[in-house]
């Protein structure tokens, strides 16, 4: 036997293929009508068609990535950047110079500026505001009244973000204006994203006028906040000071426009996502009274029952944490993410052309039967350490992965834990007769028209 005869055959690396076209398209309309009619169901079924599939949205081809491993590869690869239909529409409204839409060196510089305000060690500084707001949130209601969870949740989310990160004084008036403006802007933004009919939105319809007024007021409040800080001459160690003092790549101060866009780029994702999660958590406390009772028992055992829950208790509230994580799994606020390929590249041995728009859905990934046993069952105990080990990598990343990962993850978890623990200790809930609660797909996913009646514990 010669050495030659035992040499293994050269390994054949298969040529990258074009991803298969997802089934169910309609001639002329492609998959757009399915995405409009039932986006969550449609995205959740896509993995049955392949690991990467092509979707036709009118004349456009969009690539959908459906496995946890490939979403991780996508988010970690430098071959893709933030872009695609979602971001194109947001840029026009919120500005091009904020951290959520910038790419490349500018994005890296902006992340370095904002990161200190969000690092784990910075979060305890926000404790007094988070505690105060959580207790005020649960303390505002009267037994048996009907609470509109949408406005209550937006209010607390925007107040906490603005008070903690921008240390706004005379907060009440500004917070109310920010809440009102952001709620209207978020509603209108999703419409503009899925139906990009530019000229239609310039017509003087009442809805367009409301949207334009709210957008103008959002930008005005942000300008006021910046001007007030400047004129105060104070430089507390916070995010706003970091933005005002930030330098560009040449060491020059960043432009006024960039400071403005940065504040907007932090307030908008921060407000909408937390508000959506607060609504979903109120819904979960209503639908799963057994878990609400377990949270209350946990809080009592941690606090001794004699004092309100405090920031220092958070790490001991493990069931509360598991309820929040399981709520994020089944009802992720961020249900769809997009990227754009910078160059021609490959993903899972599929060819992705340069400039391609790519989507993936944390909702679909986190509800997949291939990753979770009893995948649709609400089971917070699946996050107990001994059970959570089996969850595949990247199958539970509600805050994203890689260089675009949410900077607000620790901030959000602390705030949501305080709110959930405080609310569950004080109230149980029933639906008001006109309450809806079905999933509402917008820029974020949240319960629609949730109206609850609080009943004292």
Is residue 84 part of the contact set for ligand HEM (CB under 6 A)? no
Is residue 156 part of the contact set for ligand HEM (CB under 6 A)? no
Distance from C-alpha of 98 to C-alpha of 101, rounded to nearest angstrom: 6
Helices (H), 288-408: 289-303, 318-330, 362-366, 385-388
Smallest distance, Å, CB 231 to ligand HEM? 24
Q: Which residues of 72-85 are buried (b: 16+ CB within 10 A; e: fewer)?
A: bbbbebebbbbbbb
Give the nearer residue to ligand HEM in terms of CB position, either 81 or 298.
Answer: 81
Is residue 52 part of the contact set for ligand HEM (CB under 6 A)? no
Is residue 394 part of the contact set for ligand HEM (CB under 6 A)? no
| Interaction mask 231-270, ligand HEM, x per CB under 6 A | ----------------------------------xx--xx
For 5, the token pair is 């005869």
Q: Is residue 406 a known part of a binding site?
A: yes
The answer to whether the beta carbons of residues 418 and 309 sit under 8 Å apart is: yes
The 10 Å Cβ neighbour count of residue 403 is 14
Distance from C-alpha of 116 to C-alpha of 398, rounded to nearest angstrom: 21
Pairing of strands 357-360, 60-65: parallel
The 10 Å Cβ neighbour count of residue 221 is 23
Give the nearer residue to ligand HEM in terms of CB position, either 394 or 411.
Answer: 411
Distance from C-alpha of 56 to C-alpha of 62, rounded to nearest angstrom: 6
Residue with tokens 């001994």: 386
182, 215, 337, 358: residue in contact with ligand HEM (rule CB under 6 A)? 337
Is residue 399 part of the contact set for ligand HEM (CB under 6 A)? yes
CA-based nearest residue to 272, from 98, 372, 153, 364? 153
Counting residues that bind ligand HEM (by CB under 6 A) gives 25
Instruction: Mark the segment that binds ligand HEM (CB under 6 A) among 251-259, 331-339, 349-357, 426-434.
Output: 331-339
334, 341, 359, 423: residue in contact with ligand HEM (rule CB under 6 A)? 334
CA-based nearest residue to 335, from 30, 90, 38? 38
Give the nearer residue to ligand HEM in terms of CB position, either 161 or 254.
Answer: 161
Cβ-based neighbours of 196, under 8 Å, separated by 6 or more = 85, 89
Instruction: Mark the segment that binds ligand HEM (CB under 6 A) among 215-223, 314-322, 368-376, 394-402.
Output: 394-402
70, 100, 147, 156: residue in contact with ligand HEM (rule CB under 6 A)? 100
Distance from C-alpha of 60 to C-alpha of 366, rounded to nearest angstrom: 27
Is residue 161 part of the contact set for ligand HEM (CB under 6 A)? yes
19, 39, 72, 408: residue in contact with ligand HEM (rule CB under 6 A)? 408
Is residue 95 part of the contact set for ligand HEM (CB under 6 A)? no
Smallest distance, Å, CB 5 to ligand HEM? 52
**Beta strand segments in 124-267, E:** 147-148
Distance from C-alpha of 294 to C-alpha of 276, rounded to nearest angstrom: 23
Give the nearer residue to ligand HEM in terms of CB position, either 160 or 309.
Answer: 160
Is residue 72 part of the contact set for ligand HEM (CB under 6 A)? no
Is residue 429 part of the contact set for ligand HEM (CB under 6 A)? no
73, 182, 264, 333: residue in contact with ligand HEM (rule CB under 6 A)? 333
For 383, the token pair is 């996050």
Q: Which residues bind ligand HEM (CB under 6 A)?
A: 82, 99-100, 111, 161, 165, 265-266, 269-270, 273-274, 277, 333-334, 337, 398-400, 404, 406-408, 411-412
What residue numbers does the annotated binding site for heme cover? Answer: 406
């Amino acid at each position: 036997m010669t050495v030659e005869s035992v040499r293994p055959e050269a390994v054949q690396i298969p040529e990258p293929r074009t991803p298969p076209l997802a089934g169910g398209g309609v001639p002329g309309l492609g998959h757009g009508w399915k995405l409009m009619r039932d986006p969550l169901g449609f995205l959740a079924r896509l993995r049955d068609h392949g690991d990467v599939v092509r979707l036709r949205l009118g004349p456009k081809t969009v690539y959908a990535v459906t496995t946890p491993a490939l979403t991780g590869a996508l988010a970690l690869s430098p071959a893709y950047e933030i872009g695609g239909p979602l971001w194109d529409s947001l840029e026009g409204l919120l500005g091009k110079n904020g951290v959520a839409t910038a790419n490349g060196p500018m994005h890296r510089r902006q992340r370095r500026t904002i990161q200190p305000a969000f690092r784990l060690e910075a979060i305890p500084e926000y404790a007094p505001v988070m505690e105060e707001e959580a207790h005020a949130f649960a303390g505002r209601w009267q037994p048996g009244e009907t609470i509109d969870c949408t406005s209550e949740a937006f209010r607390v989310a925007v107040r906490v973000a603005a008070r903690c990160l921008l240390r706004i004084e005379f907060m009440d008036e500004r917070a109310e204006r920010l809440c009102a403006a952001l709620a209207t802007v978020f509603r209108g933004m999703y419409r503009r994203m899925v139906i990009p009919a530019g000229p239609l939105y310039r017509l003087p319809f009442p809805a367009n006028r409301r949207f334009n007024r709210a957008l103008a007021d959002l930008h005005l409040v942000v300008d006021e906040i910046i001007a007030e800080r400047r004129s105060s001459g104070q430089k507390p160690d916070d995010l706003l000071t970091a933005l005002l003092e930030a330098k560009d790549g040449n060491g020059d101060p960043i432009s006024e426009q960039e400071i403005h866009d940065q504040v907007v780029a932090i307030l908008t994702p921060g407000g909408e996502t937390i508000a959506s999660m607060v609504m979903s958590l109120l819904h979960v406390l209503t639908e799963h009274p057994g878990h609400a009772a377990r949270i209350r028992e946990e809080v009592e055992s941690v606090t001794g029952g004699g004092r309100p829950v405090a920031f220092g208790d958070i790490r001991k509230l493990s069931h509360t944490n598991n309820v929040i994580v399981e709520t994020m799994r089944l009802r992720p606020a961020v249900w769809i993410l997009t990227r754009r390929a910078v160059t021609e590249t490959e993903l899972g041995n599929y060819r992705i052309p340069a400039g391609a728009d790519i989507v993936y859905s944390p909702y679909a990934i986190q509800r997949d039967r291939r990753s979770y046993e009893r995948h649709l069952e609400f089971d917070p105990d699946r996050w107990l350490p001994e059970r959570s080990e089996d969850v595949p990598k990247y199958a539970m990343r509600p805050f994203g992965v890689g260089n675009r990962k949410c900077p607000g993850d620790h901030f959000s978890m602390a705030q949501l834990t305080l709110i959930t623990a405080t609310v569950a200790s004080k109230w149980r809930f029933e639906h008001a007769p006109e309450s809806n609660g079905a999933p509402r797909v917008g820029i974020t996913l949240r319960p629609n028209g949730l109206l609850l009646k609080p009943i004292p514990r």
